[in-house]
């Protein structure tokens, strides 16, 4: 595309400054964002700059508000405010769109682009010399992963096309409507889960819930993994194999605590404690499983687990011994 010399010169005048601005902003946000958030940025190219200037909507093309722009992507809508606060603490806020979080310009039957955009500058740091980057306005979009996925997947046929196609745009915004509904469901999952049509459970989730309750009963939060559900699934798998129910395991753990003044071993993980306790209280069932025909699922046994002296590791086909010599 032919770009007029005057437009090209305006672009060139801003390019070097905004490239340096990008490097500074990238560094700051990358250091401060949460690990699971995603960040990306860009500086406008010449054609995009020219087309934007030609819209006539910007009084001062020499200070285009999104010559440099970046996007901060958060896990879901509940984290948008945290990202908003991070940006406002890190940079100097000039304005935001939409202006108010609880007001929208869109009608209830339309789904236009309306992600949160903050227009900020680096601001002056009184402890540092003044910089030519301090007052350059730039855009920070804050969106969720679902919003970001939609914008990537539909961007080219909504915003960058060599033809006007109502049906393609219609499909793009139908998808946006569905994703907005999905976003709402994720944000309100706790309340939705209590609705009569969903407040149910199957036997698998019921058993997992019971195992989680047992784990929290015998171990403190600090002694349990972040993913307690996975640990509960591992425990249930072992109990099902052995034919031991959760109430029996509860009694076994109480018995183990009584022997040691109310404490379970601290040198073992909760899973390791349970395996060791089952060897002591359900030895025949453990041996029956470990010595039968090789199964897909096996029991992991590491050196810290105390085994009965008459256990022969060579015969335990359904055990995985970690750093334990097998005679």
Query: Are 78 and 71 within 8 A, CB to CB?
Result: no
Contact status, residue 140 vs residue 85, Cβ threshold 8 Å? no
SS3 140: strand
State pTM to two decimals. Answer: 0.70
70 three-class SS: strand
Angle (CA) 103-104-109 rounded to 5° is 135
Going residue by residue through the chain (327 aa), what tens digit of pLDDT does each one get? 788 888 889 899 999 999 999 999 999 999 999 999 999 999 999 998 888 888 888 778 888 889 999 999 999 988 999 999 999 999 999 999 887 666 666 665 556 556 799 999 998 888 778 899 999 999 999 999 998 988 888 766 666 656 667 777 777 778 778 878 878 787 778 787 777 776 677 888 899 999 999 999 999 999 999 999 999 999 999 999 999 999 999 999 999 999 888 889 888 999 999 999 999 999 999 999 999 988 888 899 988 999 998 888 888 999 988 876 555
Domains of the chain: 5-101+108-191 (3.30.460.10), 203-321 (no CATH)
Please give the structure tokens belonging to residue 99: 């202006």
Q: What share of the chain is helix, strand, coil (3-state, %, to 5)?
A: 50, 10, 35
Instruction: Let me know if 265 is exposed, middle or buried by CB neighbors in 10 A (0-12, 13-18, 19+).
Output: middle
């Amino acid at each position: 595309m032919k770009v007029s010399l005057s437009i090209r010169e305006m672009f060139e005048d801003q390019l070097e400054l905004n490239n340096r601005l990008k490097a500074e902003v990238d560094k700051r946000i990358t250091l401060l964002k949460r690990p699971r958030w995603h960040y990306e940025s860009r500086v406008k190219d010449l054609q995009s700059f020219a087309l934007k200037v030609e819209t006539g909507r910007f009084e001062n093309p020499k200070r285009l508000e999104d010559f440099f722009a970046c996007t901060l992507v958060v896990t879901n809508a509940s984290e948008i405010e945290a990202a908003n606060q991070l940006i406002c603490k890190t940079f100097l806020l000039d304005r935001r769109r939409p202006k108010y979080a609880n007001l929208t310009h869109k009608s209830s039957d339309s789904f236009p682009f309306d992600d949160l955009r903050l227009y900020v500058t680096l601001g002056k740091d009184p402890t540092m010399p003044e910089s030519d980057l301090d007052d350059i306005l730039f855009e920070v979009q804050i969106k969720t992963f679902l919003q970001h996925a939609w914008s990537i997947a539909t961007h080219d046929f909504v915003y960058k096309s060599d033809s006007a196609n109502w049906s393609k745009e219609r499909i793009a915004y139908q998808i946006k409507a569905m994703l907005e509904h999905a976003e709402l469901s994720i944000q309100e999952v706790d309340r939705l889960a209590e609705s009569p049509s969903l407040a149910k459970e199957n036997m698998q989730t019921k058993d997992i819930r019971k195992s989680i309750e047992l784990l929290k009963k015998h171990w403190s939060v600090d002694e349990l993994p972040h993913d307690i559900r996975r640990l509960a699934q591992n425990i249930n798998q072992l109990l099902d194999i052995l034919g031991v129910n959760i109430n029996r395991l509860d009694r076994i753990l109480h018995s183990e605590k009584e022997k040691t003044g109310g404490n379970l071993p601290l040198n073992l993980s909760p899973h390791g404690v349970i395996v060791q306790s089952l060897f002591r209280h359900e030895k025949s069932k453990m041996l029956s499983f470990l010595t039968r025909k090789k199964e897909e699922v096996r029991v992991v046994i590491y050196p810290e687990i105390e085994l009965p002296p008459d256990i022969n590791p060579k015969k335990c086909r359904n055990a995985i011994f970690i750093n334990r010599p097998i005679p």
